[in-house]
Structure 1
């Protein structure tokens, strides 16, 4: 049986690892599904959570942002910890924390407790996601097998986000909003048991020590940034607290750069951005993420607040999107082999942009079949294909010692992009709604805000589609340059000498 490099550990041979890769994939995909489920499962229940926990408008947004921000801000730290301390160990600890925080959120009786529990969920998720992705790349080496595994990964990621809306609606309507968190806790427990049983152990891949100052400064910087963006929605961009938050974020990010330059083992080493498609994949994933979370925030609100759908009906309305996402994820490797990765990513981003542009035409007196169903299918297909391809691009060519960090980085760009995108789009949508209320009925004004959010999201993905061929071309150019250098090295080794012989590396010239 083929051995996979870098996955052997005491008591766990390469044969043991490869004998059950499908079981390991199922456990890792289950962990990722649960993490993504927690991202969107609260969206349908937000109106009832707000009433039950006594949340203000800003507090309601922070139920979403506390999870997304903690998740995104700590993913780099989680990925680096997985490389240094062992990926399976970090995965199991992260799942335990994630499940405990989910249970605490379901038992919360105050807004502060609920938001704190959501932040703790994000901390656990920040350990789970990069460790699981790094383990997946160990079990499945580069090739068709990894492509299929990443297709499953992409499918469960998108399906988890869409299924969160459905499950949130079912549980909220049947038993109340606390049960959405109890369900996530149960999922985390199942993933923990499965990972403990079937995911192989592997030795720590990295060396050095953990960059605690770098992790602290970048986490605080991102927190200040998103807090400022969220506050701008309610207080305005010139509010003193908002300006102070932006200034603090700028100072901390500058400090982070200085720390990284001096630290012997930086949290974000420069070498990572020269490996494979890391740079291109993360830029495009950040743009995709900036509209991803916002979509699952605004679409259920439109269905409930404008169309008058209940939580259960709203959740059922997400099934076509989830199904299209699964189909797109499954087809992504085949399409990429047929048309090439660059054309596939570009087409996928344009497909999703088309769906969002369609959503930007919603009306206050519309309906699900006329305003939501068609766009949802387009968005699901584009999202599934794009996510699989960009994840593969972001870990392509990364050495094993940085696999966890690369997984943390691509998740960071998606999550932080999502938190920033949600804050910006919510601010803009709220401003449009507030301006339209003076001249139009409330539902028309609310719909105008949602249309603005969807329209800007479509524009962002169109920009990403334009950038995709440029960035992918640079990756291909660097790869071609490395291949040419290797060929030139071989030619140099075998170039004929003046005496008619050939230079054979490692051989001595025969004596006369």
Structure 2
């Protein structure tokens, strides 16, 4: 039986993309890569940033939290606004905001200015990412060209997260942490200058009213959930702030679901969320980003706390992972062309689980770095195959007018996954280290290997879920055959 995601109109084979399509693809990929780099480029520079602008140690987390809150909290709203007011328009506005915010961050001399600039970068990310994805999906009809575009986009997004850690270390060591902000300014200026000539103008039909109650509840709910997750990573899962934020987020998101089932023009039509491809595709996307970014966190702890490597050397160790993600993004569309998006997700998660599980053998000697490099390369390839499968599955079978919504959901899954993976794995490490009764390299290694087992188990569970549930739901939704003679 064919995969459920293969039952969709496919683009007829064509020799190649048009010149305009290639230019648009290059522009959108450049913007996406830049935004992905921003997720991690400041991580290794945080101590120096705090010393320069007077941010105390316990306040450094706000440099990352302000970005994550805005990037994840507003992405679904901006995805729908792109459908309503124009994807190109929102894309250009977001890139302009990114340039201004990055310049302000590089020039910041106070904690308020720095955190404010980082929050503005997060808002720019929330606006640009779903708009850019929607421009990709509407520029290429469903089929090989769209699959290839989404594959390259996924590869560069994942590689950008890794490249950010490397680039941040290099810029901080050779120049200054301020260049981690300034590097965005020429990219944003170039994109804003070139985009109007490359991207097709927005063609807007009848503009529906904005679902204000839905927009308020989903944005506030996502903000609360992301804040709760980051608070858990900074303190503990039992901290009152964490519990209160996660509880409030759950209530607000439940209220959002009730609102969407009742209003005439919902922000997210319930019928879209009921599609197996959209629902399970986004679950897979959240899992893919949560597991891989949290694995980078675990291996950073291993390289620095167990092997004693410097932040720069630890960052450079992930270049092999970056190469694997790029290869996976290139191979992903070919895998999908052969076995379908759902099967690609299943295979990707299964191989990622196996590659991750081998890392439990890591030991306290530098010679184990070879295993780390091989396993992260294989896992990176598999993770990107799963991510491309998720992107294709979650955006297929929908009309162009809903592509901003679909890509907003996909972007939200991606960014919430990036946010939630690290605090969850950090909690596993901390609990195991305390259980071992020490803080030395041996106890830290024990905590890391325990978290690696959990990470691999999550990947394996997602492979099983992706294999079973989307097909089962699709089969139950097949309409009955028409009576004879009708």
Query: Offset at 1:221?
Result: 1.9
Question: What residue number does 1:398 align with?
Answer: 398
Question: What residue number does 2:123 align with?
Answer: 123
1:202 and 2:202 aligned = yes
Moved more, 383-392 or 149-158: 149-158
Question: What residue number does 2:159 align with?
Answer: 159
1:75 and 2:75 aligned = yes
1:23 and 2:23 aligned = yes
Work out whether residues 97 and 120 of structure 2, in 8 Å CA contact, stay in contact via their aligned partners in 1.
yes
Question: What residue number does 2:317 align with?
Answer: 317
Q: 1:118 to 1:444 in 2, by over 3 A?
A: farther
Residues 440-485 of structure 1: CA deviation (Å, up to 9, x unaligned): 52x3333333333333221111111111111331365368x36x75
Once residues 342 and 74 of structure 2 are traced to their aligned partners in structure 1, the CA distance between those partners, rounded to angstroms, is: 30
Secondary structure class of the residue paired with 2:35: helix
Question: What residue number does 2:212 align with?
Answer: 212
Once residues 206 and 459 of structure 1 are traced to their aligned partners in structure 2, the CA distance between those partners, rounded to angstroms, is: 47
Secondary structure class of the residue paired with 1:267: coil
Moved more, 153-162 or 70-79: 153-162
Question: What residue number does 2:9 align with?
Answer: none
Work out whether residues 170 and 311 of structure 1, in 8 Å CA contact, stay in contact via their aligned partners in 2.
no
Work out whether residues 49 and 177 of structure 2, in 8 Å CA contact, stay in contact via their aligned partners in 1.
yes
Residues 329-351 of structure 1: CA deviation (Å, up to 9, x unaligned): 11112222333433322121122
Work out whether residues 44 and 311 of structure 1, in 8 Å CA contact, stay in contact via their aligned partners in 2.
yes
1:89-488 matches, cutoff 5 A: 89-204=89-204, 207-233=207-233, 235-275=235-275, 277-367=277-367, 369-436=369-436, 438-439=437-438, 441=440, 443-474=441-472, 477=475, 481=478, 488=482
Question: What residue number does 2:7 align with?
Answer: none
Work out whether residues 280 and 475 of structure 1, in 8 Å CA contact, stay in contact via their aligned partners in 2.
no
Moved more, 292-301 or 170-179: 292-301
Work out whether residues 260 and 270 of structure 2, in 8 Å CA contact, stay in contact via their aligned partners in 1.
no
Query: Offset at 1:122?
Result: 1.3
Work out whether residues 273 and 279 of structure 2, in 8 Å CA contact, stay in contact via their aligned partners in 1.
yes
Secondary structure class of the residue paired with 1:403: helix
Moved more, 30-39 or 388-397: 30-39
Q: TM-score, normalised by structure 2?
A: 0.88
Query: Offset at 1:52?
Result: 4.3
Query: Offset at 1:134?
Result: 1.0
1:64 and 2:64 aligned = yes
Secondary structure class of the residue paired with 2:218: helix
Work out whether residues 394 and 410 of structure 1, in 8 Å CA contact, stay in contact via their aligned partners in 2.
yes
Q: 1:129 to 1:301 in 2, by over 3 A?
A: same
Give the aligned CA root-mean-square deviation in angstroms: 2.7
Q: TM-score, normalised by structure 1?
A: 0.84
Runs of 4+ in 1 over 6 A off after TM superposition: none
Once residues 359 and 106 of structure 1 are traced to their aligned partners in structure 2, the CA distance between those partners, rounded to angstroms, is: 38
Once residues 105 and 93 of structure 1 are traced to their aligned partners in structure 2, the CA distance between those partners, rounded to angstroms, is: 18
Query: Offset at 1:395?
Result: 0.3
Work out whether residues 44 and 165 of structure 1, in 8 Å CA contact, stay in contact via their aligned partners in 2.
yes
Work out whether residues 104 and 117 of structure 1, in 8 Å CA contact, stay in contact via their aligned partners in 2.
yes
Q: 1:119 to 1:446 in 2, by over 3 A?
A: farther
Once residues 285 and 124 of structure 2 are traced to their aligned partners in structure 1, the CA distance between those partners, rounded to angstroms, is: 22
Structure 2 alignment gaps of length 5 or more: 1-16
Once residues 364 and 215 of structure 1 are traced to their aligned partners in structure 2, the CA distance between those partners, rounded to angstroms, is: 49
Work out whether residues 277 and 394 of structure 1, in 8 Å CA contact, stay in contact via their aligned partners in 2.
yes
